């Protein structure tokens, strides 16, 4: 990086690097001498001498009523540039932190009993009244999952008139009682094992993944991803057979 580029980054006027390097190469000079040696017009030279002097990169002495300009030690420039670079790094670091905090609003990690309970509650609070959410559930113990629900979860859910479509494993799916606002199908046992003890919820603009094994939750807010998952869910749901029940043979 040459002096010209350094001075530009320090916010000094155009031709500052040329004037400074001319003084370093030749030595103390009057403004007239600088114009001649640097091949610059007088207004351009005077335009840079003042800010260079303020920064301490150039200083002057008087000799026989003439003002002679000198180039300061390059270490002063190096120190100023290092200080500016540190300030820029600090400012950028703050921006990175701010950006990270912003992204944390899009991606959240929760854990423990309260974390899973909050994940279920988020479905109700995030969704609009009368909406439909989608649930993949490979839970091993339905009663254990129900323990995570807040006491008023179902009341708040029903008050909002939320419908849900569920793809479950047979063990859990067969235990879910038929409801007008719930549509359940399950992965046939002969198709594949569906017992990972994981729940995925797709609702509004959000996705939620609940690992019941470790009690950890990942919530992603991203409309495109949520819409993408809704399409996949519906396609799979439509291809699954209707659950068998004794009443269907009557």
Domains, the chain, ordered by start = 3-76 (1.10.10.10), 108-242 (3.30.870.10)
What integer pLDDT is reported at residue 96 of this predicted model?
60
pLDDT at position 9 is 82
Identify the pLDDT of residue 248.
Answer: 37
Residues of the chain with pLDDT under 50: 245-250
Residue 246, pLDDT score: 42
Please report the pLDDT score of residue 181 as a whole number: 58
3-state SS assignment for residue 216:
strand
Closest CA to 21 of 40, 9, 11: 40
CB-based contacts of 187, cutoff 8 Å, min separation 6 = 167, 168, 169, 170, 194, 240
> 78, exposed or middle or buried, with CB in 10 Å at 0-12, 13-18, 19+?
exposed
Pick from 43, 52, 1, 51: nearest CA to 22? 52
Report how far Cα 181 is from the mean position of its chain's Cα atoms: 36
Q: pTM for this one?
A: 0.56
Contact 114, 210 (CB under 8 A): no
Which stretches of 151-237 are assigned E, i.e. beta strand? 163-168, 182-186, 198-203, 206-211, 216-221
Write down the mean pLDDT value for the chain.
Answer: 85
Q: So what's the pLDDT on residue 142?
A: 87
Whole-number pLDDT of residue 79? 84
Please tell me whether residue 10 adopts helix, strand or coil conformation. coil
Predicted confidence at residue 68, as pLDDT, reads 93
3-class secondary structure, 94: helix
């Amino acid at each position: 990086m040459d002096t010209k580029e350094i001075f530009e980054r320090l916010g000094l006027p155009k031709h500052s690097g040329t004037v400074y390097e001319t003084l370093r190469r030749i030595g103390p000079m009057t403004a007239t001498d600088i114009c001649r040696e640097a091949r610059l017009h007088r207004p351009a030279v005077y335009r840079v001498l003042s800010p260079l002097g303020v920064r301490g990169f150039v200083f002057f002495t008087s000799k026989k009523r003439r003002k002679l300009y000198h180039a300061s030690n390059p270490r002063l420039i190096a120190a100023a540039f290092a200080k500016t670079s540190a300030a820029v790094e600090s400012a950028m670091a703050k921006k990175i932190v701010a950006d990270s905090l912003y992204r944390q609003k899009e991606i959240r990690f929760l854990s423990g009993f309260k974390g899973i309970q909050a994940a279920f509650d988020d479905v109700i609070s995030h969704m609009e009244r009368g909406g439909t959410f989608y649930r993949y559930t490979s839970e091993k113990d339905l009663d254990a999952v129900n323990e995570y629900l807040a006491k008023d979860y179902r009341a708040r859910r029903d008050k909002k008139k939320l419908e849900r479509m569920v793809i479950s494993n047979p063990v859990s799916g067969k235990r879910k009682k038929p409801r007008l606002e719930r549509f359940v199908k399950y992965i046939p046992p002969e198709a594949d094992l569906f017992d990972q003890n994981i729940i995925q919820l797709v609702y509004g603009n959000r996705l939620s993944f609940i690992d019941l094994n470790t009690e950890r939750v990942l919530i992603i807010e991203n409309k495109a991803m949520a819409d993408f998952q809704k399409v996949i869910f519906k396609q799979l749901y439509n291809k699954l057979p209707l659950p068998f029940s004794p009443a269907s043979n009557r």
